[in-house]
């Protein structure tokens, strides 16, 4: 990761700080996206720069809950890009959607804040695509970090992902299941699961879109690879009708598991906007049990770092290993114990969910994460949500300006005659 440019959201969360520290130690060029240029972010950057001797660590203002702020950042970032190697984006890490977001409804937070940030991460990814598609020969990753409650949304799939018209997710009302017209209340765990499963599905569908944008086939089909392996020349097979298209951009969803600080602490009310004395007391009392059952941020970050560090599925093996595997073994030395068989190299596949550094296969009812039809439906629903959010924010701005124009200014006091 040395010299690679990484954009990261949610970098001031416990998990985000761990990822930031690891990437900074590797010499990556980091741009931390925060809603405001807070004092904590401005104090953190010099500490990381000094600790890792890495001056390429910066913070930029990008409020994910505001569509205008996201567009402004992308436009400003696009103007600073150059045609050389310095002006590039190698990875986009979306950490903001991992924590227990239902805590936003406590302590004066807005219940729809998590939904707005989910739309903001989707908006940021789509706006950055034109910049990412410029470099066709470079390995680029889009890592979407999701919470582990996605399984809570499996019952009622896929209807549970699409709220009825005129009803928002954060209102705590019911959703219509397939074949049932009556409403039912859903728990906070299922709300988190719906949000997580939606993020997984649009990440998987994004990989389908990226692969479809590849103009020419880049990889032979399995049948063509088998035919080539039967030959003795070891040449690359011709890419015919059965060939596959693989983009150099990988869109991956990663579930770090259950974290003590990002999941348990906000849920108990010991961290975040809903912090209470009773919540902190519960957290202290349950700490011995959580120490053995839940992960610290360093362990939770392993799967995210694996998705960033491991080689991509579209990359090739070194020439030495490829020639030894394709050439026929010499007589008398094929069974020699001095030539061990090299272990297979684990590679990151786009359009998959990773947990514990392994691909998670969904159950039969959710096979292929709903397929292209559900992926397109979630994608279009997020686009409609973005449009309605921007219209709502535009109306808020206009109403605010109207109030300012109607507000009467106090008349100046008449001057006293001497």
Q: How far apart are CA 233 and CA 328, in angstroms?
A: 9
Residue-wise burial string across 244-253, b where 16 or more C-beta atoms lie within 10 A, e elsewhere: eebbbbbbbb
- Condensed to tens digits (0 to 9), the pLDDT of residues 168-220 reads 444 443 343 444 444 567 888 999 999 999 999 999 999 999 999 887 776 66
Q: State the burial class of residue 82 (Cβ atoms within 10 Å of its Cβ: 0-12, 13-18, 19+).
A: exposed
Q: What is the pLDDT of residue 411?
A: 53
Q: How far apart are CA 331 and CA 333, in angstroms?
A: 6
Q: Which CATH architecture has domain 5-176+185-219+244-259+297-315+348-390?
A: 3-Layer(aba) Sandwich (3.40)
- Mean pLDDT computed over every residue of the chain: 79
Q: How many percent of the chain have pLDDT more than 90?
A: 46
Q: What is the pLDDT of residue 262?
A: 93
* Res 247 pLDDT > 70: yes
Name 328's Cβ contacts closer than 8 Å, sequence gap at least 6. Answer: 232
Q: What is the pLDDT of residue 221?
A: 58
- Any idea where the domains of the chain sit in the sequence? 5-176+185-219+244-259+297-315+348-390, 260-294
Q: What is the pLDDT of residue 179?
A: 41
Confidence of residue 415 (pLDDT cuts 50, 70, 90): low
* Res 229 pLDDT > 80: no
- Condensed to tens digits (0 to 9), the pLDDT of residues 119-164 reads 999 999 999 998 888 877 788 999 999 999 999 999 988 888 887 6
Task: Tell me the mean pLDDT in the region 255-278.
Answer: 91
- Its pTM stands at 0.80
Choice between 396 and 195, residue whose per-residue pLDDT is larger: 195
């Amino acid at each position: 990761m040395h010299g690679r440019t990484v954009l990261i959201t949610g970098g001031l969360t416990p998990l985000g700080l761990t990822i930031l520290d690891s990437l900074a130690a590797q010499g990556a060029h980091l741009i931390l996206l925060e809603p405001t240029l807070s004092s904590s972010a401005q104090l953190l950057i010099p500490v990381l720069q000094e600790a890792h001797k890495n001056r390429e660590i910066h913070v930029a203002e990008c409020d994910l809950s505001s569509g205008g702020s996201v567009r402004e950042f992308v436009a400003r970032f696009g103007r600073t890009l150059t045609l050389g190697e310095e002006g590039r984006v190698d990875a986009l890490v979306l950490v903001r959607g991992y924590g227990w977001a239902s805590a936003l409804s406590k302590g004066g937070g807005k219940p729809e804040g998590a939904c707005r940030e989910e739309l903001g991460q989707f908006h940021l990814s789509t706006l950055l695509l034109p910049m990412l598609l410029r470099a066709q020969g470079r390995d680029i990753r889009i890592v979407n970090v999701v919470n582990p409650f996605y399984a809570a949304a499996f019952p009622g799939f896929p209807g549970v992902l699409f709220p009825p018209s005129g009803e928002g997710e954060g209102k705590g009302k019911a959703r219509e299941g397939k074949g049932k017209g009556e409403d039912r209340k859903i728990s906070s765990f299922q709300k988190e699961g719906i949000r997580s499963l939606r993020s997984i599905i649009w990440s998987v569908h994004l990989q389908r879109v990226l692969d479809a944008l590849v103009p020419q086939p880049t990889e032979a089909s399995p049948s063509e690879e088998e035919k080539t392996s039967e030959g003795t020349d070891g040449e690359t097979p011709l890419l015919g009708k059965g060939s596959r298209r693989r983009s150099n951009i990988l869109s991956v969803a990663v579930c770090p598991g259950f974290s003590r600080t990002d999941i348990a602490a906000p849920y108990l009310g010991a961290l975040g906007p809903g912090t209470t004395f009773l919540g902190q007391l519960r957290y202290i009392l349950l700490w011995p049990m959580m120490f053995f059952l839940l992960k610290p941020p360093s362990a939770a970050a392993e799967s995210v770092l694996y998705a960033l560090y491991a080689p991509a599925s579209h990359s090739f093996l070194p020439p030495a290993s490829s020639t030894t595997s394709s050439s026929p073994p010499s007589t008398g030395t094929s069974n020699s114990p001095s030539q061990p068989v090299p272990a297979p190299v684990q590679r990151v596949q786009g359009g998959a969910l990773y947990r514990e550094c392994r691909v998670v296969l969904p159950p039969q009812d959710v096979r292929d994460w709903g397929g292209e039809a559900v992926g397109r439906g979630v994608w279009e629903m997020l686009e409609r949500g973005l449009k309605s959010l921007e219209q709502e924010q535009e109306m808020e701005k206009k109403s605010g300006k109207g109030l300012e124009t109607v507000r009467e200014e106090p008349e100046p006091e008449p001057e006293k005659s001497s």
